[in-house]
Amino acid sequence: MSQTITDFFNYRGYLGTVEFSEEDNILFGRVLGLESTYLSYEGNSLDELEKDFHESIDFYLECCEDDGIKPVTTDIALVQSQIDSNSQQLLKRLTQNKNRYLSDDRNSMVYVNRNY
């Protein structure tokens, strides 16, 4: 079982989640907004987690450069608010297509618009 902490990392224009796995007793996260690439990271402390997040982004950008591929960039909006569940479901449906992603927890919603 994992539980999301209401915080995000932001580095070089990329947003990553901060989550905790009770089962594995480790912090982990994933980079939001990358459609065909799944970037994850982990650490035993927030400092380790953030360091691994930075290294994951740097590695992704280096691989794109080495392969001559333009990296996906994102426009990120983090909105801190209380939104009722009906509105959350509507927003999720409106943003579920190949260029948008909406993630939410109890206190925040993240909207990511991918730019290619």
User: What one-character-per-residue DSSP string does 16-64 give?
Assistant: EEEEEETTTTEEEEEEES-SS---EEEESSHHHHHHHHHHHHHHHHHHH
Is-contact 116 70, C-beta < 8 A? Answer: yes
**66's tokens:** 């080495």
What integer is the mean pLDDT of 13-30? 91
| 9 pLDDT above the threshold of 80 | yes
Domain boundaries, the chain: 2-67, 73-115
Q: Average pLDDT of 25-38?
A: 86
Predicted TM-score of the model (pTM): 0.65
- Tell me the per-residue pLDDT of 44-103, one tens digit each, with 9 for 90 and over: 999 999 999 999 999 999 999 999 999 987 665 555 455 566 665 665 565 555 444 445
In the DSSP assignment, the letter for residue 100 is: E
